[in-house]
Structure 1
Amino acid sequence: MPVHFWTLTDVATRTWLDEFSFILAGADDEAASVEKYTLRGGLSEGVDVVEVNNGRLSISIVPTRGMGLWRGTCDGLELGWKSPVSFPVNPAFVNALDRGQIGWLAGFNELLCRCGLDANGPPGDGANLHGRIANIPAHRVEVSVDTEGPGTIAVTGLVDETMMFGPCLRLKSTVSTTLGSNSLTIIDEVTNLSAKPADLELLYHTQFGPPFLEEGARVELPASTVVPRDSRAAEGIDRWPVFGATEVGYAEQVYYTDLAVDVAGQTVVLLRNAAGDKGVSLQYRKQDLPCFALWKNTQAEADGYVTGLEPATNFPNLKAYERTQGRVVTLPPGGARTMTLVLAVHSSLAAVAQVQSQVTQLLGGKPPVVKNAPQPGWSPAGERQEQNSARAEI
């Protein structure tokens, strides 16, 4: 049988495999594998990890943390970043209400984590920083391996963000890759399990540090508009796409953007190092994820030298504000929304240049409109900026 299936976890049937391993060979006899293990000790006690290796790219999926991606490698390049949080943290040890509802940060160290599902953004409106989904374990995890054709390894997890008298949302996430590929694909389906309409906010917090992030590194976006989130971001608007060296005490800067698409509705974003011979890209359909935020946090490496590429259904503002702007998705009873995200690694000048050319083509020769101050309709700081300007004119 060319397709093999295994159930690693299923709470409903009391299925749980302590360990699992399957090894297969690629077209060039490069070893490929999928392995499941459980971390022991410290704050990582009981955290399940499913490690997929396609012979070129490896990725560590963490079902215990909402099907997030911990870290990876491709062509010898490390994917992820060095967080002050060294290892995956069991959600049982994360108090989301800590330090003024920013306790989410006590478990923040992934290459990719989801923010949502009911809400994301800063704490407020009854929600903690970036919501709950990253700290909810999957209750069902499956692995499939298709040994025909290019050979595909896929890991699927079900994560329920549900409560009595509250949101009832289910995330079905499938992370897949083909043998010898430089990319992985995430297909997420969020379903409203309730008999009532439900809100959806989902942001993919995708982080990178060295070797992609360094002094002189750049983000290449097909942006038609770039807006600083607040006055702090406005301070660096002249160099918004360029990254500096590590800086002790650096305060984060966030930029909101509107991205161009191709005829199929796809867009692509690229982070490349200074030399342009190492890069990572995200490709997705803008209709599914219409908002994109760039997070710059080039503080000392010990404190987290990192940038975030963040496609989302909304900008990470307070949910009440996003609702006024029409950016909170409403799922009807039983309704669902599907998002597909492709993460690719580019390890040569030619490979990086090819993606950069795609970005240039999407721009169509038009430079982005770059605002030097927060704007109304984009962030609460933009509303305050407009109000202050109006007062000054009186």
Structure 2
Amino acid sequence: MSANSSANGSIAGGAGKPTRTDMLAHMGSIQQAAYVRPIEYQEGRAHGLRAIEVKNGPLRFMSMADRALDVAQIEYRGENLTFLSKPGLNGRNQFDTNGLEAQRSIMGGLFFTCGFENICAPYVTPEGSDYPAGSYPMHGRIRTTPAEHVCSDAHWNENGDYVLELSGEMREAELFGENMVLRRRITSVYGTPSITVEDEVTNESFRNEPLMWMYHCNFGWPLLNDGAQVIIPSRKATPRDETTAADTTPWSEIGAPEANKPESVYLHDLAADANGRSFAAVVNRALGLGVVIDFAAKDFPYFMEWKSMGSGDYVVGLEPSNSSVHGRGWHEKRGDLHMIAPQTSERKTVTFTVIEGSEAIDAIIARRDALLA
């Protein structure tokens, strides 16, 4: 690395984000360093899938316009950070919202959005229920909903930042049923290895509707590898089931893949700081990288960890949610299924940040320890 560059990609002067003058002086086109670019895949299950590629210096990610603008791929300095499931990238499929067959279209990625009528296991409303009859696939339907009014832009703002952004609208709706609209805005600022997702869900129907809402964040090799760690300010971790309870490996430790090892799922009680903020992270000291998810704890009263160490299904999922992994039926029986009133909206923001180097990893561990002190 030259004397006129720094770890965060700035050009002149060494520290901090580069100025507009610096960038324009060093480049013919700013797209050498940063851009937002609509693309379309041309083969396999992904044929015809519209996406938006974003490059922010060493950070590069893909937002899937035909799948709720979820971010399905992310790299930092050429290293993959997330999990891509066996089917790979998928466009719209005939099996994407049918019960457990939904697993054939779950791609993984930095996150996919779960909801809004259901999250987790498939569910059929029982006869005599207080809620309209329905059959709800695993993790719901919003994740397979194509975006409309898709916009993308790259521009200088009034603070001198070069902002990369995209936005769109997804509608989960049924004749005589729900009419839920998700408006999403994703931004990243050049020189800062972060992605911020700002979401608003509006109930445009004329009845109360369930609003189950989870971000299924998925981390894979090489970030996830033997010796990696899951960093969560967890006051208590409760196993979801007997299989998880029988897993003798600590929830925070990552080992090597094991053939046919069953998944483990934990429900965490998170600590938050004085401002109500909490986080979760996966770090790998050998690789020198980590990814941190930041959010307001009040927005996500439930937080789950999905730990799959099976060969070929080697992934850790971190899942901030407004509902439990036990699913819709569990909430219905308890009488606390989260509802949204007609013509009202709810908003959530989640930020993903790549951290680099031993000092940054030490700092995120210290942040956890401070919250648990």
Report the TM range for the smaller structure's normalisation: 0.7 to 0.9
Pair 1:171-2:182 in alignment: yes
Q: Counterpart of 1:96 in 2: which secondary structure?
A: coil
Pick one of 339, 343, 348 that aligns with 1:334: 343
- CA-CA distance at 1:82 after TM superposition: 3.8
Query: Aligned ranges for residues 44-59 of structure 1 at < 5 Å?
Result: 44-59=46-61
Pick one of 95, 98, 102 that aligns with 1:104: 102
Q: Counterpart of 2:370 in 1: which secondary structure?
A: helix
Contact 1:226 1:257 in 2 (8 A): yes
The number of residue pairs the alignment matches comes to 335
Pick one of 326, 329, 337 that aligns with 1:320: 329
Amino acid at match of 2:77: D
Q: How far apart in 1 are the matches of 2:288 and 2:336?
A: 37
Q: How far apart in 2 are the matches of 1:43 and 1:223?
A: 38
The farther-off stretch of 156-165 and 317-326 is 317-326
1:13-57 CA-partner distances (Å, limit 9, x unpaired): xxxxxxxxxxx9795556111111111232212210100111121
Pair 1:231-2:242 in alignment: yes
Contact 1:212 1:272 in 2 (8 A): yes
Query: Aligned ranges for residues 218-257 of structure 1 at < 5 Å?
Result: 218-236=229-247, 239-257=250-268
Contact 1:56 1:179 in 2 (8 A): no
Map of 2:131 onto structure 1? none
- CA-CA distance at 1:227 after TM superposition: 0.1
Amino acid at match of 2:169: L
Question: Structure 1 residues 261, 326: closer, same or farther in 2, change over 3 A?
Answer: farther
Contact 2:96 2:105 in 1 (8 A): no
Contact 1:54 1:177 in 2 (8 A): yes
Q: How far apart in 1 are the matches of 2:79 and 2:21?
A: 20
- CA-CA distance at 1:281 after TM superposition: 0.9
Pick one of 181, 195, 208 that aligns with 1:184: 195
- CA-CA distance at 1:216 after TM superposition: 2.3
Provide the aligned C-alpha RMSD in A: 1.9
Map of 1:120 onto structure 2? 119
Map of 1:85 onto structure 2? 87
Amino acid at match of 2:50: D
- CA-CA distance at 1:325 after TM superposition: 4.1
For structure 2, the 5+ residue unaligned runs are: 1-18, 27-31, 125-134
1:291-323 CA-partner distances (Å, limit 9, x unpaired): 1100011111xx221110111111122302123
Q: Counterpart of 2:93 in 1: which secondary structure?
A: helix
Q: Counterpart of 2:35 in 1: which secondary structure?
A: strand
When normalised by structure 1's length, the TM-score is 0.81
Map of 1:33 onto structure 2? 35
Pick one of 72, 75, 88 that aligns with 2:74: 72
Q: How far apart in 2 are the matches of 1:235 and 1:95?
A: 32
- Which 4+ stretches in 1 moved above 4 angstroms? 24-30
Map of 1:354 onto structure 2? 363
- CA-CA distance at 1:283 after TM superposition: 0.5
Q: Counterpart of 1:186 in 2: which secondary structure?
A: strand
Q: How far apart in 2 are the matches of 1:83 and 1:26?
A: 42
Q: Percent identity?
A: 26
For structure 1, the 5+ residue unaligned runs are: 1-23, 365-394
Q: How far apart in 2 are the matches of 1:132 and 1:237?
A: 35
Question: Structure 1 residues 27, 73: closer, same or farther in 2, change over 3 A?
Answer: farther
The farther-off stretch of 237-246 and 168-177 is 237-246
Map of 1:293 onto structure 2? 304
Pick one of 210, 215, 227 that aligns with 2:221: 210
Contact 2:82 2:223 in 1 (8 A): no
Contact 2:59 2:75 in 1 (8 A): yes
1:142-180 CA-partner distances (Å, limit 9, x unpaired): 113331321211110100001112111111111110002
Q: Counterpart of 1:102 in 2: which secondary structure?
A: helix
Q: Counterpart of 1:357 in 2: which secondary structure?
A: helix
- CA-CA distance at 1:239 after TM superposition: 1.3
Contact 2:233 2:271 in 1 (8 A): yes
- CA-CA distance at 1:329 after TM superposition: 2.0
When normalised by structure 2's length, the TM-score is 0.85
